[in-house]
Amino acid sequence: MLDSDISSDLQQQVLEAFRNSTPLRISGSGSKAFLGNPVQGRTTDVTGHRGIVEYDPRELVLTARSGTPLDKIEAALAEANQMLAFEPPHFGPGATLGGTIACGLSGPRRPYSGSARDFVLGCQILNGRGEILRFGGQVMKNVAGYDVSRLMAGAHGTLGIMLETSLKVLPRPAASITVTRECSAEGAISSMSALLGKPYPVDGACFHGEQLYIRISGSAQAVQEARGKIAGDVLADADAFWLALREHRLPFFQHSGALYRVAVKPATPPLNIEGTWLLDWGGAQRWLFSGEDVAAIRHRVALAGGHVTVFRGGEHPVPLFQPLPGPLLAIHQRLKAGFDPDSIFNRGRLYAEL
C-alpha cells in the first residue's frame, strides 16, 4: 500500500458522526482488538492514513501517520541503526503506530528505557468535534501547554483519533547478550531488584520456567564488562527469546483461560495467587494464568500496591481494566467529555463510563 493522507476523509466521518451522535469504532489492523471491552459503532478504518512524514536520524525524531505499519517504521529506523526503545509488542502482522500508542503497550526494555508514552513527543489528533489539533512537537523538550500528546498514549482511542505521532527514537545498542541461570522465583526477584542499584547496562530481565534471563546491551566494552559481573550462561539465539516474550509466543502463553497482567513494584515477593506465572520487566510486570476469581486476584494484588488488567480471554461483564476510584473516574469522565462531548469514540472500550 502506498503512503496516503486521508485526514480530511477521516475528519468528514467524525463531523458526520458528531452531527448524528453516531458511535465510531476506531480500527487499525485489529492486532490488539482483543484488548479491552468490545466496542459497538461504525468502523472508522485508519489504516489508509499512512506513511512516515519525517525522519531525520540526527534529530532522533520520527513522525508518522497513525496507520503506518510498525514493521515499516522499524525497518526505516533499522536502516539508520536506530530503534523504538520501548520495544513495542505487535501482536499481529499489520500492527500500526496509532494502535501501538493508543494501547500504550511496551516490551521487555520498558523498565530500563521507558514506556511508549515516554517516547511520545507530539501528536496530531481529531477530537470528537471533528477538529484537527496539534499538541507537543518534534523536539525533546517542550513544556508549552498541557501534555495532551502523552495523554493519548494508553487512552485506547477514547479521546480522539490519532492522526500523526512524533516519537523520540534511540540508537540501537552496538552489542547485546543474554545470560541465564536456574533459580527460584524469590531468588530471581531479589537478583532483578539488586540490578536496579547497579550501573550495568541491563535492558531486559525476565523469570520464566525456573530460569532467570538478563539481557545486557550497550557498547561492546560495556557488555563484555557487565558479562563478567552477572552470573549465568550465555543464551544462544537470545533475540528470538525476547521477541517471543514480547509477542506472547513463548510456550507459557499457550495456556488456555484468562491471561492477567499484574503490575506491581518489582521487588514484590511472589504473590500467593494460584496459577502459572511469568515475570517480565524485572518483576514489575507479571503475567498470570489463573482460574481464580478476578475480584479476588485484584484484591490480593491491590494489597501489594499493584493493579490487574484482564489481558486476554476475559469474560464480559468483568471490568477488564482495574476499576478507578470515584473521584478519579469523575475526572476521566470530564476529560472524555472535553475531548469527545458526544462520546462517539470507542465508547466503553476502556471503561463502561467513558
Determine the Cα–Cα distance for residues 213 and 232; give it in Å rounded to an integer. Answer: 9
Residues 54-83 that bind other proteins (CB under 8 A): 56-61, 80-81
Provide, rounded to whole angstroms, the least separation between the CB of residue 249 and other proteins: 23
Task: Please give the residues from 250 up to 289 whose contact with other proteins meets the rule CB under 8 A.
Answer: 263-267, 281, 284-285
Rule CB under 8 A: choose which of 15, 33, 133, 185 binds other proteins. Answer: 133
Distances (CA, A) of 237 to 74, 226, 230, 248: 20, 19, 19, 17
Give the whole-angstrom CA distance, residue 212 versus residue 195: 13
Least distance to other proteins, CB of residue 145, Å: 5
* Interaction of residue 146 with other proteins, rule CB under 8 A: yes
Q: Is the dihedral of CA 173, 108, 154, 70 positive or negative?
A: positive
Q: Which of 2, 143, 236, 303 binds other proteins (CB under 8 A)?
A: 143
Shortest distance (Å) from residue 33 CB to other proteins: 20
- For other proteins, the closer of residues 93 and 338 by Cβ is 338
Find where cell 513544556 sits.
Answer: 143
User: Long-range contacts of range 269-273, CB-CB < 8 Å, 24 or more positions apart?
Assistant: 269/186, 269/189, 270/185, 270/186, 270/189, 271/300, 271/301, 271/304, 272/300, 273/297, 273/300, 273/301
Which residue number, 75 or 140, has a Cβ lying nearer to other proteins? 140
Cell of 126: 481529531
Distance between CA 24 and CA 249 in Å, rounded?
32
Among 2, 8, 20, 197, binds other proteins (CB under 8 A): 197
Cα–Cα distance measured from residue 180 to residue 294, given in angstroms and rounded to the nearest whole number: 33
- Residue choice 45, 225, 292, 342 for contact with other proteins (CB under 8 A): 225
Please tell me whether residue 52 binds other proteins under the rule CB under 8 A: no
322 binds other proteins (CB under 8 A): yes
Of residues 69 and 112, the one with the C-beta less far from other proteins: 112
- Tell me the number of residues near other proteins by CB under 8 A: 86
Nearer to other proteins by C-beta: 30 or 322? 322
Euclidean distance between CA atoms 253 and 251, whole angstroms: 5
The answer to whether residues 176 and 222 touch, using CB atoms and an 8 Å cutoff, is no
Looking at 16-24, 113-121, 180-188, 244-252, which segment touches other proteins (CB under 8 A)? 113-121
Stretch that binds other proteins, among 34-42, 132-140, 203-211, 242-250 (CB under 8 A): 132-140
Q: Which amino acid is at 5?
A: D
Half-sphere exposure of 42 (CA within 13 A, CB side): 12
Nearest to other proteins of 177, 335 (CB atom): 335
Determine, following the binding rule CB under 8 A, whether residue 303 of this chain makes contact with other proteins: no
Reported as type and span, the H/E element at residue 220 is helix 220-227
Nearer to other proteins, 69 or 288 (CB): 288
CA–CA gap between residue 8 and residue 4 (Å, rounded): 11
The reply to whether 327 sits near other proteins by the rule CB under 8 A is: yes
- Burial class, 233, CB count within 10 angstroms (exposed 0-12 / middle 13-18 / buried 19+): exposed
Q: In terms of CB distance, is 152 or 235 closer to other proteins?
A: 152
17 vs 264, which CB is nearer to other proteins? 264
Tell me if 17 contacts other proteins by CB under 8 A: no
Minimum CB separation of residue 336 from other proteins in Å reads: 9
